[in-house]
Chain A
Amino acid sequence: MKLKTWKELPAGAVITEPGSARNFKTGSWRSYRPRWIEENCIQCLFCWVYCPDMSIVTKEGKMTGIDYDFCKGCGICALECPGKKGQKALVMEEEGK
């Protein structure tokens, strides 16, 4: 994305484009990343409910993965995940390992 010069900025840093937070990818803030283990997932969607962002991707009412462009790695999904018979479907792993 080409950055604007000071002459092109809207006065008062007002944002006029709806949903423009989508243009600002925050995934790079992450130091831990959630990993989804599909065989342990019971599709309870607790992760989707608790995610403070919108980083749990769903399709037709089912969890299908994680949006790493925006997931900041807070770990709430992994904490809330009940898993299957004590086996978590979301686990946090250190980035870069």
Chain B
Amino acid sequence: MGKKIGITGNEAIANAMRIANPDVCGAFPITPATEIMQRFCTFVSNGEVKTETVLAESEHSAMSACIGASAAGGRVATATAAQGLALMWEMLFIASGLRLPIVMGVANRALSAPLNIHGDHSDGMGARDCGWIHLYCEDAQEGYDNMLQAFRIGEHKDLRLPVMVGIDGFITSHSIQTAEYLDDDVARKFVGEYQQTLPALLDIKNPVSMGALILTDYYHEYRKAHEQVMMRVFKVVEDIGKEFEKISGRPYGLFESYRLEDAEVAIVVMSSAAGTTKEVVDEYRAKGIKAGLLKPRLYRPFPYTQIAEALKHVKAIAVLDRADCWGGSYGPLFTDITGALYGLDKKPVLINKIYGLGGRDYMPDQAEYTFNELIDLAKGGKVKAVKEYIGVRE
């Protein structure tokens, strides 16, 4: 086992990238992800990795460089946030469509305007349907652990898909937290050497063309194939999570259930807010209230059936979104959870809270407020509003 240390989330991500020793990193700085590449570039300068860094003129170019390098046949990683992820958007589809296992750390941040640099899931949610695998982390420890696993998941021969690993901007990316690194040898053995299992551009003995025009005769089939490869992600994530647990003692599945097995009321929330919510769950359990939590880890593909199974017995559920879909009525996670529960004969009562936009603090009193409402709903109380902004000045 490694030793306990104090690190930021960005440091954790950068350190996992050091272990993976990518062939190429194409990157462009953006708050709050800048520190990831800044620290990683220190590893490059110190000769701790053999990575070629391509410091591009924009995130669009950075992702393009990553796509080129990955298509050529190398291990590739990068990092970004917010506007940077938004600027990459069209290239994200190209990375996934070409089945390039690029690994990207994302320090999730609000989108402009108004300009805001703080923690929010608007960026990741905007990229949720780009055909990438999305993993979300509660803290720096999960940032390190998920980033290591991301290389194994994305590069798995059954998948070959890009992966983004989200940590909450500033809340996780810049806060110094206690975490534990694996011994480098153990971590390196886990991540392994890069294996090119699909044709690559630089395999000159087997020349290939990439990025061909696919029209009405085949595009529909390629999209169906992508939908199907996404369905293979669940098993790979679970298998690699189990393997990781053996070397770290830290279990990883598709999502985390916290005191959920016999819960009557539950909150579904991603990333750092889950930590705060667990405290409140414990507080309510101590009062004899059957409260629980479900924290999605694998957000895309979304484990609809598994989550439905985990939530079906709960009487009232609040889904907390750190992003909103304007005009879509509800937050993105809420629509995923309602989609997951749609097939149940007896459905829990569901409400949606929008919290913490642009880094607004999510405090225990917001979780308490939400649980109190859920307790009322579980007793047969009437839903006042399906969706509500919490922690907002009215």
Residues of A within 8 A of B (CB): 3-7, 9-16, 18
Contacts and interface: CB of A to CB of B under 8 A. Distances in A.
Nearest to B214: A13
Nearest to A4: B221
Interface residues of B, number: 23
A3 B217 contact: yes
Given A12-B97, A12-B98, A13-B98, A6 B217 contact: no
26 contacts: A4-B218, A4-B221, A6-B221, A6-B222, A6-B224, A6-B225, A7-B225, A9-B221, A10-B199, A11-B99, A11-B160, A11-B225, A12-B97, A12-B98, A12-B100, A12-B160, A13-B210, A13-B214, A13-B218, A13-B222, A14-B98, A14-B198, A14-B208, A15-B210, A15-B212, A16-B199
A4 B221 CA distance: 9
A3 B228 CA distance: 19
Interface in B190-220: 198-199, 206-212, 214, 217-218
Contacts of B229: 11
A7 to B, nearest CB: 8
A6 B221 CA distance: 5
B98 A15 contact: no
A12 B210 contact: yes
A15 B214 contact: no
Please provide the 5 A-B residue pairs with the shortest distance between their CB atoms, ordered closest to farther: A12-B99, A6-B221, A15-B209, A6-B224, A12-B98
Contact of B206 (A6, A11, A13, A16): A16
Contacts of B199: 10, 14, 16
Given A13-B98, A13-B222, A16-B199, A6 B207 contact: no
A10 B99 CA distance: 10
Nearest to A1: B217
B208 A16 contact: yes
Given A4-B221, A13-B98, 18 more contacts: A5-B221, A6-B222, A6-B225, A10-B199, A11-B229, A12-B97, A12-B98, A12-B210, A13-B97, A13-B210, A13-B211, A13-B212, A13-B214, A14-B98, A14-B208, A15-B212, A16-B199, A16-B208
Nearest to B219: A13
Contacts of B221: 4-6, 9
Nearest to B95: A12
A59 B222 CA distance: 40
Contacts of B210: 12-15
A9 B228 CA distance: 12
A79 B96 CA distance: 42
A9 B218 contact: yes
A43 to B, nearest CB: 34
Nearest to B160: A11
Given A11-B160, A12-B210, A16-B199, A3 B99 contact: no
A33 B37 CA distance: 55
A19 B99 CA distance: 23
A10 B225 CA distance: 10
Given A3-B217, A6-B228, A14 B209 contact: yes
B276 to A, nearest CB: 41
A9 B222 contact: yes
A9 B225 contact: yes
A15 B199 CA distance: 9
B309 to A, nearest CB: 28
A4 B210 CA distance: 19
A11 B100 CA distance: 10
A12 to B, nearest CB: 4
A29 to B, nearest CB: 11
Contacts of B99: 11-12
Nearest to B199: A14
Contacts of B214: 13
A11 B198 contact: yes
Contacts of B212: 13, 15
B94 to A, nearest CB: 10
Nearest to B96: A12
Contacts of B222: 6, 9, 13
